[in-house]
């Protein structure tokens, strides 16, 4: 969480310095993101993030230079290997990752059934689990209804991890989500739901472990709603001062998850101040290493925008590629 906090604050500075074209901050959501990932077995589970899950990617072991390349706009989705890390490319389409997660999870169920049929055995109840991230604002998308309904009907092993950070861009949750809770919607799909303090890393870890165990056992999807707060702007192009005051933000944000965990670790004699200070120093050094790596990235070959669209390029795409090459060489 310390490493994530340093990287997040640094990324905002990098955008202001012109290194990154844009960035979606996650200040205050470190406990929700890190705690949820630590509940997974990434040798078989799969993560489906949005554009605000840097903490998820960091906790899952994704190389941060490769991750930040998405925000550098040199590569769509990220340079990391999704197949080996089990972290899917970034999804900028609101709620798009939810559909992808349910599809992957349903595939796990079909694979288990096929294996059981081949051996004339009982259905396997030790499934790979998908976890998909979405916000309270994204929960209003029709795609989320389709995904939850499909997952419930077919008992897909998927965890819908909702980071309710209080704001759907500039609209507060109470004006965006009827009833103020996404977890409450689970009853309509007969999906069990947990609502947890998203600023408490241990609470998030425990809740997500329960959800993953439920899904892995073949009982179907679970909703986990982590109640947290978005400290700062929706993105680096947003001005939160247009819809809330700094005083309101400070009053509503609640406990800082990183500070709270630090205080708890010291109070319970789990580690000392020197150890935590060393973690801060290491995190600052890591952020500088990522910055250096980003600056060293060169432009990607332009032909990639044509070569990596379809497995078998269409005639029209081939024509466009030829025209692009002709114009580029001429220029």
Give span(s): CATH 3.40.50.970, the chain: 2-300
pLDDT over threshold 90, residue 186: yes
**Banded model confidence at residue 79, pLDDT cuts 50, 70, 90:** confident
pLDDT per residue as tens digits for the range 129-157 = 999 999 999 999 999 999 999 999 999 99
Cα–Cα dist 118/137, whole Å:
43
At the topology level of CATH, where does 2-300 sit?
Rossmann fold (3.40.50)
pLDDT (0 to 100) of residue 124: 65
pLDDT per residue as tens digits for the range 46-55 = 999 999 999 9
Q: Are strands 130-135 and 46-48 parallel, antiparallel or unpaired?
A: parallel
pLDDT (0 to 100) of residue 77: 65
Give the orientation angle of helix 64-72 with respect to helix 2-16, to 10 degrees.
Answer: 30
236-255 mean pLDDT: 89
231-260 mean pLDDT: 90
Cα–Cα dist 98/147, whole Å:
6
The pTM (predicted TM-score) of the whole model is 0.92
As a residue count, the chain comes to 331
pLDDT (0 to 100) of residue 160: 98
Token look-up 């999704």 returns 82
Nearest to 157 by CA among 208, 205, 109: 109
């Amino acid at each position: 969480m310390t490493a994530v906090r340093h990287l997040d604050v640094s990324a905002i500075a990098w955008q202001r310095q012109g290194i990154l074209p844009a960035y979606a901050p996650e200040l205050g959501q470190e406990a929700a993101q890190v705690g949820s990932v630590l509940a997974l077995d990434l040798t078989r589970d799969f993560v489906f993030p949005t554009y605000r899950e840097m903490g998820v990617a960091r906790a899952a072991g994704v190389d941060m230079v490769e991750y930040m390349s998405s925000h550098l706009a040199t590569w769509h989705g990220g340079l990391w290997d999704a197949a080996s890390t089990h972290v899917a490319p970034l999804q900028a389409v609101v709620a798009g990752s939810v559909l992808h997660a349910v599809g992957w999870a349903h595939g796990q169920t079909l694979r288990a059934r096929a294996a059981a049929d081949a051996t004339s055995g009982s259905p396997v109840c030790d499934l790979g689990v998908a976890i998909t991230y979405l916000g309270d604002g994204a929960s209003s998308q029709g795609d989320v209804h389709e995904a939850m309904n499909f997952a419930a009907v077919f008992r897909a092993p998927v965890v819908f991890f909702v980071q309710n950070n209080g704001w759907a861009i500039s609209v507060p949750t109470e004006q965006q989500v009827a009833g103020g809770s996404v977890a409450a919607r689970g009853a309509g799909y007969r999906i069990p739901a947990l609502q947890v303090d998203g600023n408490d890393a241990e609470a998030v870890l425990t809740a997500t472990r329960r959800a993953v165990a439920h899904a892995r056992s073949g009982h179907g999807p679970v909703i986990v709603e982590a109640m947290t707060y978005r400290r700062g702007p929706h993105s680096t192009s947003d001005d939160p001062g247009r819809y809330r005051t700094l005083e309101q933000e400070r009053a509503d944000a609640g406990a800082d998850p990183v500070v709270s965990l630090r205080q708890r670790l010291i109070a319970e004699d789990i580690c000392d101040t020197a150890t935590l200070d060393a973690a801060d120093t290491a995190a600052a050094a890591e952020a500088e290493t990522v910055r250096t790596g980003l600056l060293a990235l060169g432009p990607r070959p332009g032909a990639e925008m044509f070569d990596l669209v379809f497995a078998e390029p269409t005639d029209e795409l081939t024509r466009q590629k030829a025209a692009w090459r002709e114009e580029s060489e001429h220029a």
